[in-house]
Structure 1
Amino acid sequence: MRRFMFEALLCSGICLLSGAVSASDLIMGEPIIGDERAVSAHLGLADLETTEPQAIIDHGRLLFDAKFTTLDGVGRPSATQAEVPVKRRPGAVPSFFRTAGPEANACNGCHNQPNSGGAGEFVANVFTSEGVSDFEFDTLEAQFSNERGTPHLHGSGLVELLAREMTADLHALRRVAVDDARATGQAVAVDLVSKGVDFGQLTVDPDGFIQIDKIEGIDHDLIVRPFSQKGVFTSLRQFSINAMNAHHGIQSDERWGPQWTDSEDFDEDGFKGEISAGDMTAVVLFQASLPTPVQSLPENPILSGAAKQGEALFEQVLCSQCHIKSLPLKSLSFVEPGPYNAAGNMRVSDLDGKSYAFALSSEGLPQNDKGEWLVPVFSDFKRHVIADSEKSHYGNERLSQRFIANDQFLTPRLWGVGSSAPYGHRGDVTTLKEAILHHGGEARASRVAYESLADMDQRKIVEFLKSLKLTSEAK
């Protein structure tokens, strides 16, 4: 596998390749008077080999912050919001469509609090279908879409690396079980545990049949999908390609290009090459390089002491069973494309075995005695039933996404929660206490334990959660 290593990607931005292109050379290009394109230069895959890492990230930031115009290819008059290329049914539709989209000019139109790549207010909610539909919905009725808030993206490169390592662990366990069943002629059961997270069990029969009924909180292919509130997207790349099409009407070449659609302008808006595979790599690297959320204790000693006590109480009421404080990460090497991308998202097989490797920053990450980096995500990367008949608020969706039960959601990553109000998958919960009290289903016991605490102890847990900040807000 050929790799282009940029070791100091986030620390100094120094490129280890000779003759590298600078940020200004890459992004500025030749000026054109009266040019109203948001992006005047695109990045090819070959450019990734000769461009400074920081310049690639800067180009990704430009694309993330760009207010795309029709001259960039905004809109999809003949294509739908579906993840797979689907033609729109005949009939006039508005250029911007608040429900089914496109409904935004820029990625940071929603991901903007407290800065680019952050979270979004309720007003920035999106309406998601089950993912592969070919219809346009102009109603807020719940049977047509799920309304979702905008999560922050800080630390998302580390999130994807954790998911990749967990997937590799689970696949290795399955592979050993298959080999043992074949060798022994007996059924072999294996516990699916990675990084201390229990995903249930699978059993392999001697004939190779795999019993999957005891797998928990993950798809049956054992791929950990850490993105979206249902946990349905494998990688930042997949998430970003979908979002570019759904929210902006910008189609990536790697999914809507001739290799899949036999067309250079699938959406028939008069523009081809709207976003290249090199551009998409830059967008991914910008998001992957966003800083790690941190704990920032209040300066007031009373509040600081309360937050420290609140952390212990958080453990006491067993919130940490799902919101695991930190998960160990073996490597900070972020390789693009990722190893588990589905078709329509760039894969190593599309590049004749070539890949691009970048080193993420270890700043603020402690190490354990094995030399692994401890990533403070406060999640187990697993889906849980989070609502019941007593507490139904988090089970309010009616449209199933990827065949996942309506009351199941991926455990939210609490790092940065102190900077990303409002709360809940719909962004309709205004306080952390309310968010806790809405927990049902598998979280019922923890909620009841929280409710049994004295009022001041409940407040201390809230003060602890408020201390989990995005870096830009940390003191």
Structure 2
Amino acid sequence: MRLVAAALLAALTPIVGWAEDTPWAEKTHALGVFDSPPAGLQSGDQLDRLLDLGEALFAAPFTTLDGAGRPRATQAILPTKTKRPLRSAFARTSGPDANSCASCHNQPVLGGAGDFTMNVFVSEGFNNHDFDTTDPEFSNERGTNHLFGAGLIELLAREISFDLIELRRDALSQARASNAPIVTTLTSKGISFGTLTAHPSGIVDLGDISGVDADLVVRPFTQKGVVESLRQFSINAMNHHHGMQASERFGARWTGEADFDEDGINDELSGGDISALVAWQATLPAPRIWAPDSPQWQSAAAKGQTNFTAFGCATCHKMALPLNSMIFTDPSPFDGAGTLRASETADPMQIDLAQLPWAQNLVRNAQGQVMVPLFGDLKRHKMTDAEVATLGNELFSQRFVGRDTFMTAELWGVGSTAPYGHRNDLTTLDEIIRAHGGDARASRDAYIAASKSNQQEIIAYLKTLRISEVD
């Protein structure tokens, strides 16, 4: 059993004695820096070295000597210059807003969630790139999600995406062969994403799809479900929160500059650095169901599990989804321009998650598929209505996703990651359940109509879904 804190200490030990004015890029050579993305199956000492570097990068307090800060670049995902120099090195609202990934992802341990004070501000418009107000007219305020089980989440999203794309391909083939429109139900892993109609002309009517983008690619990360991979997530976050810019997006290939943010540091994060960050996040253990010592709690949780299904909560918060393959590859097959793509690597990095110690605790079904206990459906849902609108407090439509629409939150780990809601402004599980409107209204109403003891039993069950401190 490997303690996360112990692994971090081991990774940082070689650089503890370095002077403050030693850049991070130089320090990482003590860990065995990967200048280029690792290739092939990672195992043994090579995997350990990769994960040590990824963990150290995640926990590192970046300085200006490393390239922290972006005086002439915005937080935009696409490389965008500022109209004027930033007023200060840090800006709580528009960023950079943290020295380290660990500044926000720390509850209950490294890689976890963040409290309300760790909220970030997401803006899809950059005319006011250094805004200093929390007014929702300027940005959407979001809480920090935990990253445990993230590799499994991305693998599930990939398999669902491939299924949906194959269904579209088959529908087009049938429409051409029959010279008639074909209506296809988009279902994968027991989740319905609506229907599409394929026409013999090759036109596809997507008016009835549900909870997924028009390209049928499931993007499992962020509260809106707009980021398809840990690699894209890491590159976005490094620039937004720290001003640490990855060469594969902000470097000479795409911008014509080695120092796009004009802070005096060239090529701040290599492809190998990003791969190490991805590997560490992808191998974080899946949260587990904790067994309380108290017989009363055990009894209440067992009843709560039954009520969770009876009230319809499991309709969206599906307790487990089947996963065919545990081989995590990076780059993702869905990574696009500005992020290293699979087509650009002869031999992508591979990590067999099934070989990790924590994976031995995962259950397999009769077909041999791993049942990932995420308590989610990797689908977007409308979460407000005219009467229950607590979660409808955003004014920006992020990446064309409606303001009242959010990705189903995976509940694994929810017992370790209060507060709740996409803004971290609901302090109890009871409050967040009562805030469910829109597509979740029926389940919320069933919970409210239930007896106090039945409500407490569901809470007792949810509080057993915890992040363990060991893998």
TM range (shorter): over 0.9
Question: Does residue 244 in structure 1 map to residue 238 in structure 2?
Answer: yes
For the 8 Å contact 1:131–1:401, the answer to whether it is kept is no
Instruction: Tell me the residue number matched to 2:6.
Output: none
Question: Does residue 37 in structure 1 map to residue 23 in structure 2?
Answer: yes
For the 8 Å contact 1:84–1:132, the answer to whether it is kept is no
Secondary structure class of the residue paired with 1:104 = coil
Residue of structure 1 aligned with 2:324, choices 324, 330, 335: 330
Distance (whole Å) between structure 2 residues aligned to residue 446 and residue 366 of structure 1: 27
For the 8 Å contact 2:95–2:241, the answer to whether it is kept is yes
Task: Within 5 Å, give how 1:22-171 maps onto structure 2.
Answer: 28=14, 33-39=19-25, 40-41=27-28, 42-45=33-36, 52-130=46-124, 135-171=129-165
Instruction: Tell me the residue number matched to 2:228.
Output: 234
Point out where structure 1 has 5 or more consecutive residues left out of the alignment. Answer: 1-9, 12-22
Task: Within 5 Å, give how 1:368-387 maps onto structure 2.
Answer: 368-387=365-384
**Which TM-score applies when normalising by structure 2?**
0.92
Instruction: Tell me the residue number matched to 1:342.
Output: 336
Secondary structure class of the residue paired with 2:398 = coil
Instruction: Tell me the residue number matched to 1:357.
Output: 350
Taking only aligned residues, the RMSD between alpha carbons, in angstroms, comes to 2.1
Task: Within 5 Å, give how 1:251-266 maps onto structure 2.
Answer: 251-266=245-260
For the 8 Å contact 1:82–1:133, the answer to whether it is kept is no
Instruction: Tell me the residue number matched to 1:175.
Output: 169
For the 8 Å contact 2:335–2:342, the answer to whether it is kept is no
Question: Does residue 211 in structure 1 map to residue 205 in structure 2?
Answer: yes
For the 8 Å contact 1:87–1:134, the answer to whether it is kept is no
Instruction: Tell me the residue number matched to 1:426.
Output: 423
Cα offsets for 1:296-340 (capped at 9, x unmatched): 121000011100110000000010000000000000000111100
Secondary structure class of the residue paired with 2:350 = strand
Secondary structure class of the residue paired with 2:444 = helix
Point out where structure 2 has 5 or more consecutive residues left out of the alignment. Answer: 3-8
For the 8 Å contact 2:38–2:349, the answer to whether it is kept is no
Distance (whole Å) between structure 2 residues aligned to residue 147 and residue 73 of structure 1: 26
Shift of 1:46: 6.1
Distance (whole Å) between structure 2 residues aligned to residue 53 and residue 142 of structure 1: 43
Tell me how many residue pairs correspond in the alignment: 453
Question: Does residue 466 in structure 1 map to residue 463 in structure 2?
Answer: yes
**Which TM-score applies when normalising by structure 1?**
0.92
Residue of structure 2 aligned with 1:436, choices 423, 433, 437: 433
Distance (whole Å) between structure 2 residues aligned to residue 132 and residue 209 of structure 1: 35
Instruction: Tell me the residue number matched to 1:451.
Output: 448
For the 8 Å contact 1:129–1:146, the answer to whether it is kept is yes
Distance (whole Å) between structure 1 residues aligned to residue 190 and residue 100 of structure 2: 38
Instruction: Tell me the residue number matched to 1:399.
Output: 396
Distance (whole Å) between structure 2 residues aligned to residue 47 and residue 187 of structure 1: 46
- Structure 1 residues 335, 134: closer, same or farther in 2, change over 3 A? farther
For the 8 Å contact 2:290–2:464, the answer to whether it is kept is yes
Q: What is the one-letter code of the residue matched to 1:202? A: L
Instruction: Tell me the residue number matched to 1:274.
Output: 268
For the 8 Å contact 1:88–1:135, the answer to whether it is kept is yes
For the 8 Å contact 1:252–1:273, the answer to whether it is kept is yes
Q: What is the one-letter code of the residue matched to 2:109? A: N
- Structure 1 residues 414, 32: closer, same or farther in 2, change over 3 A? closer
Cα offsets for 1:436-460 (capped at 9, x unmatched): 0111111111111111111001000
Cα offsets for 1:183-235 (capped at 9, x unmatched): 21111111000000000000111000000100000101000000000000000
Distance (whole Å) between structure 2 residues aligned to residue 130 and residue 297 of structure 1: 42
Question: Does residue 296 in structure 1 map to residue 290 in structure 2?
Answer: yes
- Structure 1 residues 92, 442: closer, same or farther in 2, change over 3 A? closer
Distance (whole Å) between structure 1 residues aligned to residue 327 and residue 21 of structure 2: 38
Cα offsets for 1:415-443 (capped at 9, x unmatched): 00000000000000000011101111111
For the 8 Å contact 1:365–1:373, the answer to whether it is kept is yes
Secondary structure class of the residue paired with 2:381 = strand
For the 8 Å contact 1:114–1:473, the answer to whether it is kept is no
For the 8 Å contact 2:86–2:130, the answer to whether it is kept is no
- Structure 1 residues 43, 430: closer, same or farther in 2, change over 3 A? same
Shift of 1:253: 0.5
Distance (whole Å) between structure 2 residues aligned to residue 393 and residue 339 of structure 1: 37
Q: Which aligned runs of 4 or more in structure 1 are off by greater than 4 angstroms?
A: 23-34, 46-51, 131-134
Secondary structure class of the residue paired with 1:446 = helix
Cα offsets for 1:320-374 (capped at 9, x unmatched): 00000000000000011110012111112222x3211111132221001110000
